[in-house]
Structure 1
Amino acid sequence: MPTPLSLPEFIGRRIDSAAGDLFRAEGAYAAIDFTQPPGEAALVPPDSLSWRIFKNPVSLYIGGVAAVILELAEPGVRTGVWEHSSFRTQPVQRLKRTGLAAMITVYGAKSVATRMIEGVVRRHDRVTGQTPDGKPYHANDPHLLDWVQATASFGFAEAYSRYVSPLSHSEFDRLYTESAPAAQAYGAVGAPTSQTEMEAIFARMAARLEPSPIVFEFLDIMREAPAFPGLLQTLQPMLIRAAVSMTPEGIRDRLGLGAVQGLRAWEAPLVRQAGALSDRIVIRSSPAGQACRRMGLPEDYLYRS
């Protein structure tokens, strides 16, 4: 594993400040403190693959966008997300809350993560309706929950493997297995726990996925919404194209996402360089850094273990 990157103190402070903006959310998640309670374990342990992968903001962003593309391909999920969330009106805050929820399930103390998940399940129980073609949907439908969990797991794992450091088949299996406790708490009892199961659910869902203008509307919103602070915003359109490029080819074709929406040939090496570099920069104010302090571990533990 690469060693942590040694940076001048003033640069480290700037990065910590930027990271604070990136992970700062409003509402119920605003008070989350990953350093508390001291010593309390998370749903997954510090030596897990999840703790190492989720610390990387580049692959986390790319994987999150790819997951939403895949979610919006399913009519029930798409209608629920678009009609019952603030994606269109408050895309940045909605994205931050979604990202922070993922951070809590990985790095948060188990008691904190459990309360957060229980709250999400209660809110989702009120999300019901009909798709435009008249089919009923319910946000807590186990089949929809399995798909949402699968898209998130695939997105984060594939983005890290493609743009940061390649993962082996066994590492994909390990990562998907580690996500099982959180998935089951959300009600996704059939979520994939191995690469083979992941391929199987993608194959089963293929016939249910369909094109929609909402997918393109989402991508347009993400290009314009300032998800990153300062000059980092200039990278945002390229990272969105990276998310499109890592979406499975058959699904891209089905959704009508052509080459123009994906990475240019010269951009792929730049994204990989950004991903590899961000994997070496210790961000002390991030959920990963805070969680390490909660567990009495060095702040650079995840960068040298």
Structure 2
Amino acid sequence: MPSRANILATRFERAFDADIRSRFFRGLDFAGPAGDPGWFGPGSAVWYVHSHLPTLILGLVGAAYIEGLDPSISWMGYDHSRLAKRGEDGVPTGEIDPEGAAVRLGHSLSFFIGTAYGSTATAERLARTVRAMHHTVKGTRPDGLPYDADDPEWLRWNYATVVWGIATAHERYHRRPLRGDGLERYYREFVRVGEALGGTDLPATKAEVADCLESYLPRLALTPIKAFGTGPNLEGNGVRPWEPGSAFMDWAARDMLPAWAQKLALYRRPNPVVLRARRTALWVALNALHDATGPLPEFREARARVAGGATAPVARTAPAAPDPVLTREQVEATA
């Protein structure tokens, strides 16, 4: 008789196939061409870290949380994404749209799995698509300040939040996390992703990332959008604990934040016994799910692709030429 863990793993895999892989992984090549290492290749820290899907998902949830402490990013999402639930008049209500959150997570997973394990051409295609989408995200905040997703300062902040989120979730919740130089190697390698999206002067160590994030503190604030979608405001919203927008995932994200960001987000640690129990329960759940499902199919395909040997990864991922100007509709049609 199947164990409860195996039953949950089967449900998770089916849901992932139906909700994520079938919708957001179309056209991504992981099986070929033979010998192509992609951007990182076997033996890389990125291959190891991203192969644990549950901690990768948690890392992206944490990254999205700290990223949204930048008011410009809050308003970018409010104005340009489906994250904000909208009323019949089209005006955002201040609440999170679960379907919009799921779409954002799906695109994020396809990007960070595709750039990790996909062929070189697949990784480059994903980067072009994200850059093209960023080019369309421009506007003005309610306080009159402009925002632009191509702003080098925004790109640096965005990059630091993502590498921090994935690395922190890995370090805290992976059964066998990278430590010391192994983890530092992940930070160094991941710079390739940020540069491919147009980032420059990116932090390349754990300490540099931490310093980068804290250096933005004078610019950060809790916008109404952020405040409405966090903490006690999520209690009783009916979202299942493992889904984006749930009170538990919100707690897990805030619990990972640096101390200064926890103060900004009004996070208060529970007593030590409750804190240990919650973290232990999350650790057990994430690793049990990973153990039951096994390595990602994309990871297995990538390993088979280079089983006979691999060439060296590309030397440079930064864009070599300006991107064509596309409308948002054109970008979404090619995504």
TM-score, scaled to structure 2: 0.74
| Distance in structure 1 (CA, Å) of the matches to 2:9 and 2:141 | 48
* Post-superposition offset of 1:40: 2.0
Match of 2:91 in 1: none
Greater CA drift, 144-153 or 12-21: 12-21
Show the 5 A alignment for 1:115-130.
115-130=125-140
**What residue ranges of structure 1 are gaps of 5+ in the alignment?**
1-6, 298-305
Match of 1:114 in 2: 124
Q: Quick one: which of 17, 34, 40 aligns to 2:36?
A: 40
Q: Is the alpha carbon distance of 1:243 and 1:222 closer, same or farther for their aligned partners in structure 2, counting shifts above 3 Å?
A: farther
Match of 2:187 in 1: 176
| Distance in structure 2 (CA, Å) of the matches to 1:30 and 1:158 | 29
| Distance in structure 2 (CA, Å) of the matches to 1:8 and 1:255 | 34
| Distance in structure 1 (CA, Å) of the matches to 2:236 and 2:57 | 13
Contact between 1:92 and 1:227, CA under 8 Å: does it hold in 2? no
Q: Is the alpha carbon distance of 1:288 and 1:221 closer, same or farther for their aligned partners in structure 2, counting shifts above 3 Å?
A: farther
Q: SS of the residue aligned with 1:26?
A: helix
Show the 5 A alignment for 1:1-305.
16-21=13-18, 23-24=20-21, 26=23, 29-88=25-84, 89=97, 90-164=100-174, 165-219=176-230, 237-259=247-269, 264-265=274-275, 266-281=277-292, 283=294, 286-296=297-307
Greater CA drift, 16-25 or 249-258: 16-25
| Cα displacement string for residues 207-258 of structure 1 (whole angstroms, at most 9, x for unaligned residues) | 1111123224444789969789xxx669x64344222100112112113334
Over the aligned positions, Cα root-mean-square deviation in angstroms equals 3.3
| Cα displacement string for residues 262-300 of structure 1 (whole angstroms, at most 9, x for unaligned residues) | x94221111111233344345465332332233338xxx
Identity %: 23
| Distance in structure 1 (CA, Å) of the matches to 2:13 and 2:47 | 19
Amino acid at match of 1:79: W
| Cα displacement string for residues 84-110 of structure 1 (whole angstroms, at most 9, x for unaligned residues) | 112234221221111211111111111
Q: Is the alpha carbon distance of 1:106 and 1:94 closer, same or farther for their aligned partners in structure 2, counting shifts above 3 Å?
A: same
Amino acid at match of 1:204: S
Q: Is the alpha carbon distance of 1:12 and 1:256 closer, same or farther for their aligned partners in structure 2, counting shifts above 3 Å?
A: closer
Amino acid at match of 1:50: V
| Cα displacement string for residues 19-63 of structure 1 (whole angstroms, at most 9, x for unaligned residues) | 423532536x43324223343221111211111111212211211
| Distance in structure 1 (CA, Å) of the matches to 2:43 and 2:238 | 35
Contact between 1:40 and 1:110, CA under 8 Å: does it hold in 2? yes
| Cα displacement string for residues 91-135 of structure 1 (whole angstroms, at most 9, x for unaligned residues) | 212211112111111111111111111121122112111122211
Q: SS of the residue aligned with 2:216?
A: helix
| Distance in structure 1 (CA, Å) of the matches to 2:236 and 2:305 | 35
Q: SS of the residue aligned with 2:139?
A: strand
Q: SS of the residue aligned with 2:26?
A: helix
| Distance in structure 2 (CA, Å) of the matches to 1:132 and 1:191 | 29
Q: Is the alpha carbon distance of 1:282 and 1:224 closer, same or farther for their aligned partners in structure 2, counting shifts above 3 Å?
A: same
Amino acid at match of 2:127: I
Amino acid at match of 2:21: R
Q: Relative to total residues, which structure has the larger helix share, 1 or 2?
A: 1
Q: Is the alpha carbon distance of 1:13 and 1:294 closer, same or farther for their aligned partners in structure 2, counting shifts above 3 Å?
A: farther
| Distance in structure 1 (CA, Å) of the matches to 2:26 and 2:113 | 13
Amino acid at match of 2:223: S
Q: Is the alpha carbon distance of 1:16 and 1:292 closer, same or farther for their aligned partners in structure 2, counting shifts above 3 Å?
A: farther
Amino acid at match of 1:146: R
Give the number of the structure whose alpha-carbon radius of gyration is greater.
2
Q: Is the alpha carbon distance of 1:13 and 1:143 closer, same or farther for their aligned partners in structure 2, counting shifts above 3 Å?
A: same
Contact between 1:62 and 1:240, CA under 8 Å: does it hold in 2? no
- Number of residue pairs matched by the alignment: 286
Q: Is the alpha carbon distance of 1:93 and 1:225 closer, same or farther for their aligned partners in structure 2, counting shifts above 3 Å?
A: farther
Q: Is the alpha carbon distance of 1:11 and 1:66 closer, same or farther for their aligned partners in structure 2, counting shifts above 3 Å?
A: closer
